[in-house]
Amino acid sequence: MIKALLFASLLMGSFAITNKASAQTAACPEILKHTVNRLQDDTPQNLCQYQGKVALVVNTASFCGFTKQYQGLEALYAKYQERGLVVLGFPSNQFGQQEPGTSKEIADFCYNTYGVKFPMFAKTSVKGDDVSPFYAQLIKATGTTPKWNFYKYLIDRKGKVLKAYGSVTTPEDKDLVTEIEKALSN
């Protein structure tokens, strides 16, 4: 009898967890309904975990003239994380072959050189025939494809892609920071 009650209790608990996860996925904006692998260990990550946050999505590279932007991206993340900003980094080797390393090499470089703590994901195709589904949606929403490393997309709390920013737009850029603050206030 005790075993039967324990089993029933566990079963009901698993249904509750499943129903909660299903409800969260249903409420998740379409742009975030993607699973990508985490850079550090290739663990699948559902981007719906960032629903309700303002997201700055950036394709990155370790050996680019813009690589120093990691420092500014980490500073943005640290400054605005408590208000709901998340920076999402997607290494890509599509521009000048400037991200040739393994996931471990990229993760070590980002953390050891720039102290990157914002979420980073496995190497990603951000353009072309093999573009990732997430980036395909970003491109469709803005009408603009990344032209180089450190191209940025800003997504509001409801999952609307607000704007794309070129590589020369630094994380400290006044217009970018203003748009982030505006999105965080809404």
Domain with residue 83: its CATH number is: 3.40.30.10
Which conformational region is residue 106 in: left (phi greater than 0), alpha (psi within -120 to 50 degrees), or beta? Answer: alpha
Task: Let me know if residue 131 belongs to a domain.
Answer: yes
Task: Let me know if residue 8 belongs to a domain.
Answer: no
For the chain, the domain total comes to 1
Task: Let me know if residue 13 belongs to a domain.
Answer: no
- Whole-number Å distance between alpha carbons of 144 and 151: 10
Mean pLDDT of 95-119: 97
- The yes-or-no verdict on residue 4 having pLDDT over 90 is no
Task: Let me know if residue 132 belongs to a domain.
Answer: yes
- The yes-or-no verdict on residue 111 having pLDDT over 80 is yes
Q: Which of 28, 48, 64, 110 is catalytic?
A: 64
Task: Let me know if residue 19 belongs to a domain.
Answer: no
Task: Let me know if residue 83 belongs to a domain.
Answer: yes
Domain interval for residue 97: 28-185
- Whole-number Å distance between alpha carbons of 142 and 6: 52
Min mean pLDDT across 5-14, 71-80, 151-160 is at 5-14
CA neighbor of 55 nearest in space, from 148, 138, 172, 130: 138
Number of Cβ within a 10 Å radius of residue 89? 24
Is 48 among the catalytic positions? Answer: no
* DSSP conformation letters of 44-110: EEEGGGGTTSEEEEEEE-TTSTTTTHHHHHHHHHHHHGGGTEEEEEEE---STT---S-HHHHHHHH
- Whole-number Å distance between alpha carbons of 26 and 48: 10
Q: What is the pTM of this model?
A: 0.87
Number of Cβ within a 10 Å radius of residue 30? 9
Task: Let me know if residue 99 belongs to a domain.
Answer: yes
Mean pLDDT of 74-96: 98
Task: Let me know if residue 18 belongs to a domain.
Answer: no
